[in-house]
Amino acid sequence: MANNNQTFIAYEGPSLYDGSPIVVLIQTGSTNRKTGDMVQTYILRSDIDPITASRTGQDKAICGTCPHMGKPSDKATGQAIGRTCYVTLAHGPLGKWKAYKAGRYGKAIGHDAIRALGLGRMVRLGTYGDPAAAPMFLWNSLVSAAKGWTAYTHGATNPAPDKIMTSAETAAQAESAWQRGERTFRVIKGLDSLIKGKEVLCPASEEAGKRTTCESCKLCAGASVKGKSVAIVAHGISKGKAKDMVD
């Protein structure tokens, strides 16, 4: 298995959302306090830096129809207007893209090489970007010998509900997904929006007392987990804006 915090190129090819060129980077460890020491994955435009992609709306190649992308801007710098995604582009995504363009990462190509990166580890599919943007064979290989994983998609059709949580912003969206046999991860305004009997508050969230980390929790693995869906109160740098978008 690779040493902790090494990063590898696992896919370079067309986005399954719009055909634009993307790259999938796999980092073998993390110091993220909420997730714990999980294998991290970044889904990026390979030809455009993440901030420019956001500002111009070209991040749809890696974010699909996610409502948190914001609206394209005609400014020369900065990100999309009204972007509510909790991921800070100038941190992990931009740093990863710059290192990729500088040729600092080796490649992990083929089932065996990708499988080895997730061997015995917890894996985060889509640290940044929607895993539905990349071929499912990649994720199947990465988690094939993993201890577990987390994964979320805003795609209108969940490509692998047995592995990926369906992201929802409203109760109606969640109910529709449940009727299709999917489990959801929903951002909510406050604790009174939690649908009792159907949803559980994210155990790693501040409101739940940060009882655990994603590495230990293992709830967000789609329908492979026979449990309630998961909800979290809007958080991060854009939590005020995000609360305006959800139930």
pLDDT at 139 over 60: yes
CA 116 to chain centre: 21
Beta strands in 5-101 (DSSP E): 7-14, 21-27, 39-45
Quick count: other Cβ atoms within 10 Å of Cβ 149? 26
> What's the CA gap between 135 and 119, in Å, rounded?
20
Q: What integer best gives the mean pLDDT of the chain?
A: 93
Residues 176-195: tens digit of each pLDDT:
999 999 999 999 999 999 99
> What's the CA gap between 36 and 61, in Å, rounded?
28
Q: In the chain, how many H helices and how many E strands?
A: 8, 10
Residues 198-209: tens digit of each pLDDT:
999 999 999 999
Q: How confident is the model at residue 29 (pLDDT cuts 50, 70, 90)?
A: confident
Position 211 scores a pLDDT of 93
Position 1 scores a pLDDT of 43
Position 148 scores a pLDDT of 97
Entry pTM: 0.92
> What's the CA gap between 24 and 13, in Å, rounded?
9
